[in-house]
Amino acid sequence: MLKNAYHPQGEALLWEQFLEHLERTLRVTNLHPATVEYLSHPKRVVGVPVPVTMDDGTVRFFMGYRVIHDISLGPSKGGVRFHPSVSLGGTLGLAALMTLKSAVYGLPYGGAAGGVVVDPKSVSRREIERLSRRYTAELVSLIGPDEDILGPDLGTDARVMAWIMDTFSMNKGQTVPGVVTGKPPSLGGSASRVDSAGRGLVYVLQEMARKHGMPIKGARVAVQGFGQVGKAVAQAASAEGLKVIAVSTSRGGVYHREGLDMKALEAYHGREGHFLGFPWATEITNAELLSLDVDYLVPAALENVLTKENVSSVRAKMVLEGANGATAPEAEDALLSRGVVVVPDIVANGGGLVVSYLEWVQDLAMFFFEESEVQARLKDSVTRALEATLAKSQGLNTSLRMGAYALALERVNLAARLRGVYP
């Protein structure tokens, strides 16, 4: 068992699961011992207290983190979360997954992640702005378009990215749009960025359905989570003719056997922020959503929603991870033993990273692509990453996750060996 070199505050499951998957991958592929050490010892781990002047004049301290996992393939890239569940352990795991996702998609990035322990719903918009700017100021010497690029994640959005970019730029004395991705288009953001992760997942779903002889038109889909990824998945799936029969937020979900009216659903969620009381469907719990008899299940909320405790109730024929680390290793083993196809996060939800890369490239060149070109590049990247993963998993006679890990780790291994050890 690979030793966990960190004993992080809070939940460490994502990091521990990364180490477990790394150890499993070492059974089917060869990596240089030094690469294994690099991957199990993140390059930089930063914890920063973030003082914020609240609207009532008091000063409140929040805990923030930024982790750089590996930079063998290029500058680090990763999201920023504002959520009560943010912890060092979770941030370590998210950074490691970003390293792998970048490698699977053939992008010149290392992995990073960050966040602040805060409930965005419990503070005002002005307080979130001050929090975003102070968090950025604490990290300003450690981030940048050539060092570490930030992006939106759970609890953050384009507006937060705009504040981060502005704070960094004010400290540098010049406008630096490439320090973040996921910005508003008027500040150098890319077309199609908002729905790219969800759209990319539906591209993966369609390709996997064709390869397994599963239905697409009229096929039943359940989506747990209605944030940026889950909402985009539901929209794209519905537009492609799939039948979205259930969606949910943290407060619960709704179900309709003939498919939900997406326009009415989006309008209701936009007004209420949840689905409770939605008049044209049956209310269900998140647990009930996970156990629905569907063709495709997309957990797109938080990590570790499919566990050994609830996996026996899952009746989906294919699980596509919209959220990072949505399926615990024991749960995946159980699903695979029953013939359920599991498409791992580092393949299924990589569309957002692809369009983030395109945004970064556009910002560096100050030359911007039309939306049609962004979408074409996204589909091409998703198809190539999936084909490479399938080829690797079939060649090794292993699962899609192990095939994706092997593909990613071999690419990181090659880059690390070519670069060598400094000095």
**Per-residue model confidence as pLDDT tens digits over 4-57:** 544 443 357 899 999 999 999 999 999 999 999 999 999 999 999 999 999 999
Q: Which two tokens stand for residue 304?
A: 């570790």
Q: Which two tokens stand for residue 368?
A: 């911007």
**Phi then psi dihedrals of residue 222, to 5 deg:** -120, 135
What rounded mean pLDDT belongs to the chain? 95
Domain count across the chain: 2
User: In terms of domains, do 243 and 320 share one?
Assistant: yes
At 360-370, the pLDDT tens digits run: 999 999 999 99
Residues whose CB is less than 8 angstroms from the CB of residue 173 and which lie 6 or more positions away in sequence, other chains included? none
DSSP letter, residue 189 = P
* pLDDT of 5: 45
> What residue has token string 């996992």?
69
Q: What is the CATH number of the domain that holds 43?
A: 3.40.50.10860
Q: pLDDT band at 194, cuts 50/70/90?
A: confident
Residue 150 lies in a domain: yes
User: In terms of domains, do 19 and 168 share one?
Assistant: yes
Write the burial class of residue 420 (CB in 10 Å: 0-12 exposed, 13-18 middle, 19+ buried): exposed
User: In terms of domains, do 330 and 215 share one?
Assistant: yes
Which residue segment(s) compose the domain that 104 sits in?
13-175
Residue 368 lies in a domain: no
User: In terms of domains, do 141 and 211 share one?
Assistant: no
User: In terms of domains, do 130 and 248 share one?
Assistant: no
* pLDDT of 7: 41
* pLDDT of 8: 41
Of 294, 325, 348, the domain-final residue: 348
Residue 287 lies in a domain: yes
* pLDDT of 10: 38
Query: Which is it for strands 110-117 and 318-320: parallel, antiparallel or unpaired?
Result: unpaired
User: In terms of domains, do 139 and 285 share one?
Assistant: no
Residue 65 lies in a domain: yes
* pLDDT of 1: 56
> What residue has token string 């602040």?
116
Q: What is the CATH number of the domain that holds 221?
A: 3.40.50.720
Q: What is the DSSP string of 70-96?
A: E-SSSSEEEEEEEETT--HHHHHHHHH
User: In terms of domains, do 97 and 229 share one?
Assistant: no
Residue 421 lies in a domain: no
- Output the pTM of the full model: 0.94
Residue 405 lies in a domain: no
User: In terms of domains, do 113 and 222 share one?
Assistant: no
Q: pLDDT band at 2, cuts 50/70/90?
A: low
Residue 59 lies in a domain: yes
Residue 372 lies in a domain: no
User: In terms of domains, do 103 and 227 share one?
Assistant: no
User: In terms of domains, do 21 and 166 share one?
Assistant: yes
Cβ atoms of residues 400 and 390 within 8 Å: yes
Which is nearest to 352 in space by CA: 153, 178, 174?
153
Q: What percent of the chain has pLDDT over 90?
A: 94
At 93-119, the pLDDT tens digits run: 999 999 999 999 999 999 999 999 999
